[in-house]
Amino acid sequence: MQNFDFLISTRLIFGKGTHKQIGELVKPYGKKVLLHYGSSSIKKSGLYDEVINALKQSGLEVFELGGVLPNPRVSLIREGIALCKKEKIDFILGVGGGSVIDSSKTIAGAAYYEGDVWELVEDRTKQVPGGIPLGVILTIPAAGSETGGGAVITNEEKQIKTSFGNAYTRAKFAIINPELFFTLPKNQIANGVADMMSHIFERYFTTTDNTELTDGLCETILRTIIHNGPVVYANPADYDAWCQLGFSANLAHNGLLGLGRAQDWACHGMEHELSAIYDIAHGAGLAILTPNWMKYVYKENMGMFLQFAVKVMGVDGSFRDPEAVILEGIARLRALFNSLGLPSTLSEVGIDESKFELMAKKATGAQYGRERAIGGIKKLSWQDVVEMMMFGATAV
């Protein structure tokens, strides 16, 4: 087990009706609030009115910026930064899922920078003089971004999807009320399940020895997701099942599960290129790539994948044939994704082979003259990534 230094400074407020506290939670930070959100869904559900009323009843002046899209665009982030500077915003409130939260974080962390926000993304040595405090109300449990310090944003002109974060991109508080998930469409539920599971996989599949505790945490949360994902997919108004999923998504990506262990992150690196160029849902891309990645790398650490097949996917087979057990575990994962309506192949989401090499070179940095292998279980060159994407063209 490796050394670690761990801090989560975000206050987590969980349960029924908790979003109604928003006015009193924001009030100590100032008078002017930027309400940042995505589509009209929060207006249709009535959440928008509840939030606006709570903020105004606490004597706060509310400014709005809607329109956040999946794979949040830097163009809208620039609008948010300009609005914060013009109106001297004291606090940012993101109401939505991971894309809204990541957009809010980036605005908060770049609002006091005098240059363009993308300069901070491209040159991580650049410093900012401060940031705007922010809080979030979660409406889609998936990304786990509500208590993390980083964000993932997209430059639509350059077709680059990448991370951003600094000392000011961690929320002061996050509200998780599972009641707010009841109106989610089935495709968002499915994409969320794939995303939260992938966040665990990236940490779980490790080359580090003696990680019994975090192995067990990962396995328990994965089993919880596997059980409750289909429950809410069938009945989106099941509060108790949403409690399990909402908390699982948070634990999957708040850093706890990766403590003391080497991590992988190859699947995320590859999927970011898919969604940067083709703008597909992140969870859908992960559902396609992850089983294929497993089949491509499992021989590098068969013990880890055997453990996954038995303890997570419940395979009961002969340990005299560990490879068969592993392959059955991967097949069961694919079947789970399929049962939630998630795609198995890149062709299902309109992606052909024409840009495989470009995406592979971008994922590994070869496109920019700074190639580095990605992944942990197996170091993947851009040629490996192309081969994996060829796997993804048809289900393996």
- Evaluate whether 357 touches 382 at the Cβ level (below 8 Å): yes
Is the Cα torsion angle 271, 274, 277, 283 positive or negative in sign? Answer: negative
What φ, ψ does residue 163 adopt, rounded to 5°?
-95, 160
- Evaluate whether 109 touches 128 at the Cβ level (below 8 Å): yes
Instruction: Tell me: pLDDT of 332 over 90.
Output: yes
Q: State residue 187's pLDDT score.
A: 95
Q: State residue 239's pLDDT score.
A: 98
Q: State residue 391's pLDDT score.
A: 73
Q: State residue 393's pLDDT score.
A: 61
Taking alpha carbons only, the member of 280, 299, 296, 301 closest to residue 348 is 280
- Evaluate whether 273 touches 332 at the Cβ level (below 8 Å): no
More confident call, 41 vs 375: 375
CA distances from 152 to 8, 163, 275 (A): 19, 4, 12
End-to-end CA distance of the chain: 33
H/E run at residue 14: strand 11-14
Q: State residue 395's pLDDT score.
A: 53
Instruction: Tell me: pLDDT of 394 over 70.
Output: no
- Phi-psi map region of 273: left, alpha, beta (phi>0 left; psi -120 to 50 alpha): alpha
Q: State residue 317's pLDDT score.
A: 73
Instruction: Tell me: pLDDT of 41 over 60.
Output: yes
The torsion defined by the Cα of 226, 146, 343 and 218, in degrees rounded to 10, comes to: -30
> What pLDDT band is residue 390 in, cutting at 50, 70 and 90?
confident
Is the Cα torsion angle 24, 26, 32, 33 positive or negative in sign? Answer: negative
CA distances from 262 to 2, 78, 197 (A): 8, 35, 17
Instruction: Tell me: pLDDT of 228 over 70.
Output: yes
Q: State residue 39's pLDDT score.
A: 83
How far apart are the C-alpha atoms of 179 and 156, rounded to whole Å? 33
Q: Which residues are within 8 A (CB) of 175 and not within 5 positions of it... i.e. 6 or more apart?
A: 13, 14, 18, 19, 21, 22, 25, 135, 136, 137, 138
- Evaluate whether 269 touches 374 at the Cβ level (below 8 Å): yes
Q: State residue 295's pLDDT score.
A: 95
> What pLDDT band is residue 40 in, cutting at 50, 70 and 90?
confident
Q: Which residues are within 8 A (CB) of 228 and not within 5 positions of it... i.e. 6 or more apart?
A: 241, 242, 244, 245, 248
Query: Range with the lowest mean pLDDT among 3-7, 137-141, 235-239, 304-308?
Result: 3-7
**186-204 vs 239-252: helix axis angle to the nearest 10?**
40
Provide the b/e sequence for 32-59 (b: ≥16 CB within 10 Å). Answer: bbbbbbbeebbeeeebbeebbebbeebe
H/E run at residue 152: strand 151-155
More confident call, 389 vs 200: 200
For range 42-65, the mean pLDDT? 96
Total Cβ atoms within 10 A of residue 279: 14
Instruction: Tell me: pLDDT of 376 over 90.
Output: yes
Instruction: Tell me: pLDDT of 365 over 80.
Output: yes
> What's CA 321's distance to the chain center, in Å?
35
> What pLDDT band is residue 392 in, cutting at 50, 70 and 90?
low
For range 95-119, the mean pLDDT? 96
168-195 pLDDT, tens digit per residue, is: 999 999 999 999 999 999 999 999 999 9
Q: State residue 335's pLDDT score.
A: 97
How far apart are the C-alpha atoms of 143 and 283, rounded to whole Å? 9
> What pLDDT band is residue 16 in, cutting at 50, 70 and 90?
very high
